[in-house]
Each structure stands twice: as structure tokens, then as C-alpha cells.
């Protein structure tokens, strides 16, 4: 007999809806910047982030399209993107 899964009181931050709910608001920008700076362990120091749907169409059909979640600017003015990826992506 199959068991019915119990509802969880926790949110999975790697699900797109949850990520946006937790981190994609103006009020949560300082929290996300702090988290990312902690993860970079001093290799980068993010000063600003922007949310958006920055789409990169793959160069061939196998690549598909990637949607980058966060555009970052670090202390030296360099810009880069952060993509939250839960599953395996061969060409990313």
C-alpha cells in the first residue's frame, strides 16, 4: 500500500517558486548578497544584484535555453551572473 506523503513545514529553496519567494524582492537583496558573499569566501565581494529573466538561447537544440536568476556586480565593477541549477545541465 502506498503511503501518502506528509506535508512539510519547510520550503525547498532550490524550487524556482521558493527561490523567488525567499530571495527575489528588494527587501531580501541584502540577505542574498550576504549569502552569496559567504559562499564566495572572499574570492568575490558582491556589492549589488539585479533580478531578472536574462535568457541565453543555446547555440544548438541540445543546449536548450538557460535563464539566469541573478546579475551581480562586485567591488571591482565586474559583472557576472548566478544561475540556480538543481538538476544536471550538460552545457552549463
Helix (H) or strand (E) holding 23: helix 16-23
- Tell me the pLDDT tens digit for each residue of 39-61: 999 899 999 998 876 566 666 66
The CA radius of gyration of the chain, in Å to the nearest whole number, is 16
> Residue 69 forms beta bridges with which residues?
none
Write down the domain spans for the chain.
16-82
Among residues 68, 63, 70, 53, the alpha carbon closest in space to that of 89 is found at 63
> How far is it between the farthest Cα atoms of the chain?
59
Task: Give the chain's mean pLDDT.
Answer: 79
pLDDT at 89: 65
Q: Angle between the 16-23 and 29-40 helix axes, to the nearest 10 degrees?
A: 110
Amino acid at each position: 500500500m502506498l503511503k501518502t506523503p506528509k506535508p512539510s513545514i519547510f520550503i525547498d529553496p532550490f524550487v524556482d517558486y521558493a527561490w523567488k519567494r525567499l530571495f527575489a524582492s528588494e527587501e531580501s537583496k541584502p540577505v542574498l548578497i550576504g549569502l552569496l558573499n559567504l559562499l564566495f569566501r572572499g574570492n568575490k565581494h558582491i556589492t549589488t544584484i539585479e533580478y531578472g529573466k536574462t535568457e541565453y538561447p543555446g547555440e544548438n537544440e541540445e543546449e536548450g535555453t538557460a535563464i539566469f536568476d541573478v546579475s551581480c556586480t562586485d567591488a571591482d565593477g565586474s559583472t557576472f551572473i548566478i544561475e540556480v541549477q538543481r538538476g544536471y545541465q550538460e552545457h552549463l
